[in-house]
Each structure stands twice: as C-alpha cells, then as structure tokens.
A and B are shown apart, each in its own frame.
Chain A
Amino acid sequence: MHHSEHLRRASEAPGEETWRPAARLECLRLRAAVLAEIRAFFRARGVWEVETPLLYSASASDPHLASLHAAYHGPGAPPGGRRLWLQTSPELAMKRLLAAGSGPVYQICKAFRDGESGPLHNPEFTLLEWYRPGMDHHALMDEVVALLEHLFSALGQELGPCQRLSYAEAFRRHAGIDPHRADAAQLRACFLDQAGDIAAGVDPADGDAWLDLILTHLVEPHLGLEGPSFLYDYPASQAALARIRPGDHPGEPPVAERFELYLEGMEIANGYHELTSPREQRLRWERDRRRRRRLGLPDVPPDRHLLAALSHGLPECAGVALGVDRLLMVLSGAEHIDEVLAFPLSRT
C-alpha cells in the first residue's frame, strides 16, 4: 500500500501535487475581478445577461469545429436516450432570443470543443458572447475596445494603441500576398517560401488551409504587440455566420463582414455582422454538411428552431465571442492557458 503510493507519486512530475489548482490563487481572484468588471460594463450600457442551454439539440456545422455530445435519458427522452451537443458557442440559442425581441444581450458561459488542447486551448473554456442590434462589425469593434479599456483601467493596467487592419492589408503587409485574388498554388508557394516550413500533408488545392497557415505562421506573430489589433473583412470562403458584402468597387471580390481581435499575437475574439437571411443560413448549413460528409466527419443537424427564428426575423445586428481565459492570460502574463485555469484537462 505504502509502496504503490510511492510509485504512483514518483510517476508524476516531481514536486507537483496534481490535486491542487494549476492556476495560482491570485490568478483565480483576477478571474473573479474580470468577470465582475465585465458585468459592470454591460450593466452600465443596458446590455442584459442571459443564460442559454449548454446541452442543446444542434451544434455548430463548421467542419473545423468538433462538438462533444452527451445523451439524456428519462422523462421526455426516446428509448436509448436523446443526443444533446455541448455547445461550441452559445450563438444558436442567443440568436433565438434576439429574434424574440430581447434587444442587446450578453452571456458568460462555458463552451466545449473536442480535439483542442495546447498552450492556447483547453477543450472546456469560458466565452463572453454578446449581441448588439443596430450595430455593424465596425461599431462592435468600437465596443470591444471600450470593454478592453474598461477592464485594463479597472485592473490598473495600460492598454496600448488600437490598430485596425483589413485581412487583405495584413496579408499584403506581412506576407506580401493578396489573399482574395491568389489561388491555392500561389498561397502555397507564399507559405513554403516564407515560413521555412513544409506542410507536406496539406492538400495543395485547399486554398483555405494555406490561408490559415499563412495567418498562423506569418501574420499572427505581428498582431496585437503594441495594443489590440483587429483583422476585418475576411475572405468570403471563411464567412462562417457573417454576412457577405459585394466588393466595394467593381471587379473587387466579395468579403465576409467578420473580424478577429488579437492581443500579443493571440486570437482573443471573433465577431460578425450577423447573417439574418434564413435562406442563406440554410444554404451554408447544407454546404457545411456536404463538406463534413466528404471529409468523413460526423453529421450535425441544422437547428430548426434557429431557422424558424430567422424566418420570423432576426434584427440587423453584430455579435462577438471573446475568450475570457486568453484575455486573462494577457492580463496575468501567462504563457500557457493552464496557468489561468483552476483545473485544466490534465487535472480534471
């Protein structure tokens, strides 16, 4: 008994007691302070807090998001149980609230993503998501900056100057390529030339994969170093649930009205000028499901409640999801997400 106890302990990292939280207690207190300040910020602006189900009958269809699922057994469930998905973000249900006339709403909740674990990823993490009827993605970027200024000043920290770059401008500046016009072969050549890396297993014809690689290897390291950086107006192929705007000038390619926030080279938030057309929403879901089938990924049913809500009418709005854990990493100087989580995956 005594001997096996000794062996078990010896197999763990020396000096580490894994029952303890991974984060220092002062970092967990910082989390509590940040959550309180987020709530104060939105209360002052008349945005109200809501809660929606984490276990839900549908989930994100995006082929690059893997959902965890569970089964409910009991009253109201069919024999064998009812499959429910742990939400990758609360967007589906929150849009139903907006269609029902909620007005501006926010939520702080857990979100779940299968297959994601690393220095910047934990499969269970905290999202702040909010929606602003009447705003477009630029107006919402203003509010994201206001929130950051509020949080940094409440915590006695200084926020550097804000930078806004279109996705195209960022690629031109940091990789010397036009992301909207270059084809997959040109994107691949750009990556192979400049990244000092070979990504042998990536399909040479998969333009979006090469865009992602250029973004992570060549562009992101330059973003958010002085203060917050926004990338906006993404390629239409990466619209997700953002609306797509035709080119601003004749002959220009259409762009997705989507933005991402970076701090210290790290992606912190992702926002959309939201798609409101039920027809377009249905088409994107069907396209995602076809891609899932082709890639051999599990099918995810579309959310019929959201389709009904969109048909009823979603107000013109913008919405954004912000990773609270990563924001805490910036505020506390952490280099690994485990440093801001009480019990990350390795200690659950």
Chain B
Amino acid sequence: MATYSTNEFRSGLKIMLDGDPCVIVENQFVKPGKGQAFNRVKYRNLKTGRVNERTFKSGETVEAADVVEKEMQYLYTDGESWHFMDPNTYDQYAVSTEAMGDAAKWLKGQELCIVTLWNDVPLIVTPPNFVELEVTETDPGLRGDTSGGGSKPATLETGAVVRVPLFIDVGDVIKVDTRSGEYVSRVKD
C-alpha cells in the first residue's frame, strides 16, 4: 500500500485520514528551535467537504488515497442513480444522489463534469462553472425594466431555483454560475 511521509506533504496530495479520503489544502513545517518538528496540515475531507486541521509529527507516514479526477459526460438519471461516461474509455459510472450533491440541480444532459473517483467509485461531481438553462416558471416579466433594480425567484428546467432580474420571463435562457448559484446574464438567441 502506498504511503507518504510528512516530507512529501504538499497541497493537493490525497491521503487517507480516519478511513476517509482527504486532500491537503495547506501544509506548513513548524519547529521551535529546540523543540520537535511538526507538519501543520489543513485538509479537506473529500466525502464530507469539511476542512479541518491536523498536526503530524515530522517523519510520520500516512496512507495514500487512491483518488483521481476524470472529466466525464453526464448522460441521464434513472431516478436513483446518475449516469456518466468517460469519453476516452466509454466506461460508464453510476453516481449516487449523495455523491451528486448540489451538482444534480444544474445538469440536463451532455455536460462535461469533473468526477472525483475514490477506489474507482464516484465520490464528488463538480459541474461546469457556468451552465445555460431555460426558465420554466417565474412571475411575468416586466419588459423594458432592464435597470437591474429588484429581483425575483425563477425555476429552471432542471428544477433549480435562482434569483433573477425582474425582466426575465418564462422561456428565457439564462447563464448561471454553479459555484455561487447566482444568475450571470440572459443568453441572447
């Protein structure tokens, strides 16, 4: 089994902590002049997304996490799982609703997403930073009011709800930033 010593620690390294795959966010070597050496590490648990701190004695070893990120195309959902395909190998992966998390509400099909695999099992799905989706439900638009003052909720074709400016109407296609969940612009036809 592959292991890393604290001397190999760097941000981005994937390691196993308490049985969960984690990624090092920040690694700092600390040592009081006459004291022991430690590595002070900030890490993100890849299953829960939570960031924690842990200090290691210099020279400690930890198990490597078999984690890879692959670009995959979203195909369809059968209601229980979300199906993706690796466009290079045509291998298909079924992703649980839990692993999909928030990504589910931005996808309608064909999008290229980053899928994080742990021991070849999908762990996290990261949707494209920007998606373009049609508005299926919102209060009637105030045409001509493009001043940007005020906003209202709008439901998109995937079921996601975002705040949009008052001039947006049902049938409009809008661009959304999936990282913040915020409206970016109306897509002109």
> Do A197 and B33 form a contact, CB below 8 Å, given A213-B38, A216-B38?
no
Contacts A213-B55, A216-B38 hold; do A201 and B32 have CB atoms under 8 A apart?
no
Contact indicator per residue, chain A 210-233, by CB within 8 Å of chain B (1) or not (0): 011101110000000000000000
Known: A197-B55, A199-B55. A208 touches B29 (CB 8 A): no
The answer on a CB contact under 8 Å between B55 and A217 is yes
Give the interface segment out of B56-64, B69-77, B91-99, B162-170: B56-64
Given the contacts A197-B55, A199-B55, A213-B55, A62 and B60 also touching, CB distance less than 8 Å: no
* Known interface pairs A64-B37, A215-B35, A216-B38; A202-B57 also in contact (CB < 8 Å): yes
Complex Cα distance, B36 from A211, in Å, reads: 10
Q: Which residues of A contact B30 (CB under 8 A)?
A: 118, 120, 216
A129 at the interface (CB under 8 A from B): no
Given contacts A118-B29, A121-B29, contact A64 B34 (CB under 8 A): yes
Minimum CB distance partner of A242 in chain B? B34
Q: When the two chains form their complex, are residues B32 and A216 in contact, meaning their CB atoms are under 8 A apart? A: yes
Q: Give min CB distance, A154 to chain B, whole Å.
A: 26
B139 within 8 A of A: no
Judged by a CB distance under 8 angstroms, whether B151 is at the interface is no
Interface centre among A64, A260, A267 (most CB of B within 10 A): A64
B11 within 8 A of A: no
B-chain residues with CB within 8 Å of residue A126 when the two chains form the complex: none
Q: Size band of the B side of the interface?
A: 20 to 34
A202 to B54: give the CA distance in the assembly, Å.
11
Residue contact A201 to B35, C-beta cutoff 8 Å: no
A75 at interface by CB-CB < 8 Å: no
Interface string of A105-121 (1 = CB under 8 A from B): 00000000001111111
Residues of A within 8 A of B40 (CB): 197, 216-217
Q: Taking A197-B54, A199-B56, A200-B54 as contacts, is the C-beta distance between A118 and B28 under 8 angstroms?
A: yes
Are the CB atoms of B38 and A199 closer together than 8 Å? yes
Q: Could you give, for residues 176-220 of chain A, a 1 whenever the CB lies within 8 Å of some chain B CB and a 0 otherwise?
A: 000000000000000000011111111000001101110111000
If the complex has contacts A197-B55, A199-B54, A217-B55, are A209 and B36 also in contact, measured as CB distance less than 8 A?
A: yes
Is A163 an interface residue, CB under 8 A from the partner?
A: no
How many whole Å from A11's CB to the nearest CB in chain B? 16
Quick check: B29 and A197 within 8 Å, CB to CB? no
Task: Return the CB mask of B16-50 against A: 1 if under 8 Å, else 0.
Answer: 00000000000011111111111010000000000
A57 at the interface (CB under 8 A from B): no
**B35 contacts A270, CB within 8 Å?**
no
Among B30, B34, B36, B40, find the residue whose CB has the most chain A CB atoms closer than 10 A: B34
- A240 located at the interface, meaning its Cβ lies under 8 Å from any Cβ of chain B in the complex: yes
Asked whether any CB of chain A lies closer than 8 Å to the CB of B53, the reply is yes
**Chain A hits for B36, CB < 8 A:** 64, 208-209, 212
Since A116-B31, A216-B32 are in contact, a sample of 15 more A-B pairs with Cβ atoms closer than 8 Å, ordered by chain A residue number, is A116-B29, A118-B28, A118-B30, A195-B53, A197-B53, A198-B54, A198-B55, A201-B60, A208-B36, A213-B38, A215-B32, A216-B40, A217-B55, A238-B34, A260-B33
Q: What are 21 A-B contacts defined by CB distance under 8 Å?
A: A64-B36, A115-B37, A116-B31, A117-B29, A118-B29, A120-B30, A195-B55, A196-B53, A197-B55, A198-B54, A199-B57, A202-B57, A208-B36, A209-B36, A209-B57, A211-B35, A212-B36, A213-B38, A213-B55, A216-B35, A267-B33
Listed from nearest, the 3 A-B pairs whose CB atoms lie closest are: A118-B29, A212-B35, A199-B55
